């Protein structure tokens, strides 16, 4: 796949997109219990997390009666092993790259020093190793993830299977009494031979979508929940490009956390928009209602007025099976304090646009394609910035900033400004086509920080830029 000449690639794409076999024809098992995520082993002493990740091709039996499917995986696991550490821990992760391409590990959302953040400027070449070192600051407890970020190869390495979750826990956690489920949502696109399909021309425009939207690597798994039971779910949208409008009809759902951890107080919700790269924590309370589907659904969502919906009907991601009755645990009213960021020292405008007429520069930020050697903005440690992310695009693009968490201040809806109804720490926010999102942040550490569209095909195509944070 990797060594194929460009022309054949293009020719193959058309055939591939026209003939993506239907999900049901491939025989992928479904309806099995939710797969548990494997854990990365900690070899450190107390107060440390010391581990090792190796990126390598691996063949896993996926489709009964078909040859094994080749993935690229961390430590042979799909999804990659979950890293679980505590606030205050010193993290030390040795990374060995045994792929045929340069790679990096980016610690998505985590406040790590710029030179430890797996930027495309610091590739780990094939056959090489490096160690990532950072400390987990107080107050950083949240659901993060890690994935490759090499120049031009991020989408491919991610869809081949390289991604895992990183959960930072706090000893002072108001929801520690609730049982947890961790749900990693990812997209799998297979060809007729059960191998991971290459990106089609359409994928490179609209973002890659497969036949299967998996949860922890399983197709439409079953999650057990008792009537009245409260569970804390951490959900990662680890797909390349899907903007997911999630819903759990029948059950009660409270949003309790976003990318950067808990919000101030639980908020009852009907649905949850989770764009690529984004995470949420919810508390689900089992309410099995006759006549209502007991399932985790992705509702139809229009990502831009000119775009066809992601799907016409609701998509079932997982079903929820009633497992008895349980007493309802308390859901505290106060989760944590979030201090609003004050008046900005600096305001900037970031324009997302598309130029379909230029295949070499289709996805742009402030009219430019990403350049590894160009600093787009210069900032300062400790300085509050306010950015308006303005979409002049025909489709939605999820904005992501490295190095820190931001607070959304306001957004336009059909061009009319709406103040954000609650405070939350985020590192990804969807920018709907034609709309603007205003956010504030402060960077705590110096160095180069990437910001980009988290549709990985767009990021690779150049919808990325750099903020140089001076000390």
Q: List contacts with ligand C2O (CB under 6 A).
A: 106, 108, 147, 149, 277, 400, 402, 450, 452, 454
CB of 239 to ligand C2O, least distance (A): 12
Instruction: CB nearer to Cu ion: give 298 or 455.
Output: 455
For 244, other C-beta atoms within 10 Å of its C-beta total 25
Q: Which residues, listed in sequence order, are joined to residue 91 by a DSSP beta bridge?
A: 49, 134
The entry of Cu ion, ligand C2O, none near residue 249 (CB within 5 to 8 angstroms by kind) is none
Subset of 78-117 contacting Cu ion (CB under 5 A): 108
- What is the DSSP-derived secondary structure letter of residue 32? P
Contact, 196 vs 70, CB < 8 A? yes
The entry of ligand C2O, Cu ion, none near residue 455 (CB within 5 to 8 angstroms by kind) is Cu ion
**How is the beta sheet containing 129-135 ordered, strand by strand?**
69-74, 48-60, 90-97, 129-135
Interface with Cu ion includes 453 (CB under 5 A)? yes
Instruction: CB nearer to ligand C2O: give 303 or 402.
Output: 402
Instruction: CB nearer to ligand C2O: give 178 or 408.
Output: 408
CB of 403 to Cu ion, least distance (A): 8
Residue written as token pair 């089609």: 200
According to CB under 5 A, which one of 130, 204, 287, 397 is a site residue for Cu ion? 397
Contact, 145 vs 166, CB < 8 A? yes
Distance CA 393, CA 363 (A): 9
CB of 437 to ligand C2O, least distance (A): 17
* Pairing, β 48-60 against β 90-97: parallel
Instruction: CB nearer to Cu ion: give 266 or 432.
Output: 432
CB of 452 to ligand C2O, least distance (A): 6
Burial zone of 58 (CB within 10 Å; 0-12 exposed, 13-18 middle, 19+ buried):
middle
Instruction: CB nearer to Cu ion: give 74 or 219.
Output: 74
Instruction: CB nearer to Cu ion: give 194 or 276.
Output: 276
The entry of Cu ion, ligand C2O, none near residue 438 (CB within 5 to 8 angstroms by kind) is none
The entry of Cu ion, ligand C2O, none near residue 149 (CB within 5 to 8 angstroms by kind) is ligand C2O
Q: Which of 171, 153, 170 is nearest to 162 (CA)?
A: 153
According to CB under 5 A, which one of 175, 442, 455, 465 is a site residue for Cu ion? 455
Q: Which two tokens stand for residue 314?
A: 């609701």
Q: Which residues, listed in sequence order, are joined to residue 24 by a DSSP beta bridge?
A: none
Instruction: CB nearer to ligand C2O: give 251 or 400.
Output: 400
Distance CA 419, CA 426 (A): 16
Residue 220 backbone class (left: φ over 0; alpha: ψ -120 to 50; beta: rest): left
The entry of Cu ion, ligand C2O, none near residue 234 (CB within 5 to 8 angstroms by kind) is none
The entry of ligand C2O, Cu ion, none near residue 397 (CB within 5 to 8 angstroms by kind) is Cu ion
Instruction: Give every CB contact of residue 323 below 8 A, 6+ residues apart in sequence.
Output: 224, 225, 226
Instruction: CB nearer to Cu ion: give 221 or 462.
Output: 462
CB of 260 to ligand C2O, least distance (A): 14
CB of 106 to ligand C2O, least distance (A): 5
Distance CA 153, CA 80 (A): 18
Q: Which of 405, 332, 43 is nearest to 172 (CA)?
A: 332
Residues in contact with Cu ion by CB under 5 A are 108, 397, 402, 453, 455, 458
């Amino acid at each position: 796949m990797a060594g194929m000449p460009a022309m054949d690639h293009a020719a193959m794409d058309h055939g591939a997109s026209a003939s993506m076999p239907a999900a049901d024809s491939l025989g992928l098992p479904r309806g099995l219990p939710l797969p548990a995520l494997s854990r990365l082993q900690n070899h450190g002493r107390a107060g440390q997390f010391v581990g090792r990740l190796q990126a390598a091709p691996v063949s896993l039996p996926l489709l009964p009666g078909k040859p094994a499917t080749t993935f690229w995986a961390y430590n042979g696991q799909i999804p990659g092993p979950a890293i679980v550490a505590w606030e205050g821990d010193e993290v030390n992760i040795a990374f060995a790259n045994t792929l045929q391409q340069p790679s990096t590990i980016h610690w998505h959302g985590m406040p790590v020093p710029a030179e430890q953040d797996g930027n495309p400027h610091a590739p780990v070449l094939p056959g090489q190793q490096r160690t990532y070192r950072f400390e987990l600051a107080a107050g950083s407890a949240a659901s993060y993830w890690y994935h490759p970020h090499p120049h031009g190869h991020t989408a491919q390495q991610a869809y081949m299977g390289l991604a895992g979750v990183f959960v930072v826990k706090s000893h002072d956690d108001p929801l520690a009494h609730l049982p947890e489920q961790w749900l990693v949502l990812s997209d799998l696109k297979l060809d007729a031979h059960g191998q991971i399909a290459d990106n089609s021309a359409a994928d490179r425009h609209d973002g890659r979508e497969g036949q299967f939207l998996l949860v922890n690597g399983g197709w439409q798994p079953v999650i057990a929940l008792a009537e009245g039971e409260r569970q804390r779910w951490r959900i990662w949208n680890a797909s390349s490009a899907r903007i997911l409008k999630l819903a759990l009809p029948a059950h009660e759902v409270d949003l309790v956390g976003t990318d950067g951890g808990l919000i101030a107080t639980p908020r009852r919700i009907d649905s949850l928009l989770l764009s690529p790269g984004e995470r949420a924590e919810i508390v689900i309370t089992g309410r099995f209602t006759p006549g209502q589907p007991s399932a985790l659904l992705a509702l139809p969502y229009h990502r831009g007025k000119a775009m066809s919906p992601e799907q016409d009907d609701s998509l079932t991601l997982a079903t929820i099976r009633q497992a008895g009755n349980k007493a309802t645990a308390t859901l505290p009213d106060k989760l944590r304090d979030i201090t609003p960021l004050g008046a900005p020292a600096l305001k900037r405008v970031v324009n997302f646009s598309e130029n379909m007429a230029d295949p070499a520069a289709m996805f742009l930020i402030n009219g430019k394609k990403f350049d590894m050697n160009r600093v787009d903005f210069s900032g300062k440690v400790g300085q509050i910035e306010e950015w308006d992310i303005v979409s002049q695009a025909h489709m939605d693009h999820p904005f992501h900033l490295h190095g820190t968490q931001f607070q959304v201040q306001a957004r336009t809806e059909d061009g009319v400004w709406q103040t954000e109804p609650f405070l939350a720490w985020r590192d990804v926010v969807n920018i709907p086509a034609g709309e603007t999102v205003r956010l504030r942040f402060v960077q705590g550490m110096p160095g180069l920080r990437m910001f980009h569209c988290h549709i990985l095909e767009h990021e690779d195509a150049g919808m990325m830029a750099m903020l140089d944070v001076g000390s």
